[in-house]
Copies of this chain bind each other. A is one copy, B any other.
Amino acid sequence: MVKIEVPHNHPRKVSLDIRERIIEGHSRHEVATAGLLAHGRGEAFDYLLGETTNESAKHAIQVAVAALLTAKHPVISVNGNVCSLVPREIVELSDITGAALEINLFYYRKEREDAIFRALKSAGANSVLGTQDRPSETIPELSSNRRKVDSEGIGLADVVLVPLEDGDRTEALKAMKKYVITIDLNPMSRTSVYADVTIVDNIVRAIPLMIAAAKELRTKSEEHLQKMISDFDNDKNLAESIRFIISRLEQLSTNIGLLREKNDTGVRAS
């Protein structure tokens, strides 16, 4: 693998640095090949969102954390992309909310499970559910190899955070009556529209904000948190996210020339 140094003045520097983490995760066998394509889809939507956390996402983050804090048995589902992008942050969120970590792979390979297990352990995780040696149960899904959940993890959970999740899995979790929270840059994905709370944001920005929210919200009353949850309307949240993208596109479409100036890297001048 040739590593390309991204020049500091490159217009896509932040996005390219995050991309580098996914590619490194792939070479450590944490990320499936399909996970690289999924990351690419996320990059496109993040570009449309202006690569910032908008107000709808900030609100969804508060509600998501309230749901994790009030849950009887919250679980955070971890796949290869999550593990490569935010290993320490996901362990910290698990610690602060009391949510168990469960490895959950679309394309199961023992090698991938082991790589993710090692990465979570070295990021400080005490306990990791969902490994092949653990008790498991099958859940009904349309397709994919990922029909199993940990009997003491997602099998038992009332609230599940499934960031960067596939639509089949999300529909299956809803069919099991779980309260589903997701982080997804595409507000129109099946996962986004089937979840109870969708944080339309880059996981790299969202998880640190969830940690901060948990520190604040754990001092609030159960009643206060329950009201935050019952007041939340995910369809409204998703519609706001789509309208945010529309307003960005409207700005861009009015002046393509401006896009050239903004993007200018100096190559043409040299």
A positions within 8 Å CB-CB of B: 1-2, 4-7, 10-11, 19, 22-23, 26, 33-34, 36-45, 47, 107, 109, 140-145, 167-168, 171-172, 174-175, 186, 188, 190, 193-194, 235, 238-239, 242-243, 245-246, 249-250, 252-254, 256-257, 259-260, 263, 265-268, 270
Contacts and interface: CB of A to CB of B under 8 A. Distances in A.
A23 B260 CA distance: 32
Contact of A41 (B33, B41, B193): B41
B41 A266 contact: no
A170 to B, nearest CB: 9
A249 to B, nearest CB: 5
A2 to B, nearest CB: 6
Contacts of A172: 267
Contacts of A253: 238-239, 242-243, 246
Contacts of A246: 246, 249-250, 253
Contacts of A47: 186, 188
Stoichiometry, as copies per complex, reads 2
Contacts of A263: 167, 190, 193
Contacts of A267: 140-142, 168, 171-172, 175
A40 B44 contact: yes
Contact of A33 (B23, B259, B266): B23
A265 B189 CA distance: 13
Given A4-B143, A41-B43, A249-B242, A23 B19 contact: no
A26 B47 CA distance: 25
Contacts of A23: 33-34, 37
A9 to B, nearest CB: 8
Contacts of A175: 267-268, 270
Contacts of A140: 267, 270
Contacts of A40: 36-44
A215 B118 CA distance: 58
Contact of A265 (B1, B171, B254): B171
